[in-house]
Amino acid sequence: MAKVEIYTWRTCPFCVRAKGLLDRKGVSYAEYSVDGDEPARDAMAARGDGRRSVPQVFIDDRHIGGCDDLHVLDRAGELDALLKV
């Protein structure tokens, strides 16, 4: 299994959607809530090519992007290989 990390905001529908996809894949992940935590959001942006939107997903320390990026990889048949499922 790959190491999966996701930065989220508690009430973000895109975060819920991204986590739902990971859950359906049976993948465990570390979730970092950045609700109102600007230093944590800054750290996320530093890892994620300056992107401050949530969610931001990392697989094996590789920046994947947000919810739409994750679903594009899945539709292209590339996500399972990254997740090692």
2-28 pLDDT, tens digit per residue, is 999 999 999 999 999 999 999 999 999
**Phi, psi angle pair for 31, to nearest 5°:** -110, 130
Q: What pLDDT does 41 receive? A: 95
By residue range, what is the domain housing residue 23?
4-83
Per the CB < 8 A criterion, the answer to whether 14 and 55 are in contact is: yes
Q: How many folded domains does the chain comprise?
A: 1
Q: What pLDDT does 44 receive? A: 97
CATH number of the domain that residue 51 is part of: 3.40.30.10
Residue whose tokens read 């895109």: 14
Report CA 69 to chain centroid distance, whole Å: 9
> Exposed/middle/buried for 30, CB within 10 Å: 0-12, 13-18, 19+?
exposed
pTM of the model: 0.95
Average pLDDT, the chain: 97
Q: Give which of 54, 70, 63, 85 is closest to 21, Cα–Cα.
A: 70
pLDDT digits (tens, 9 = 90+) for 29-39: 999 999 999 99
- Peptide bond before 55: cis, by omega within 30 degrees of 0? yes
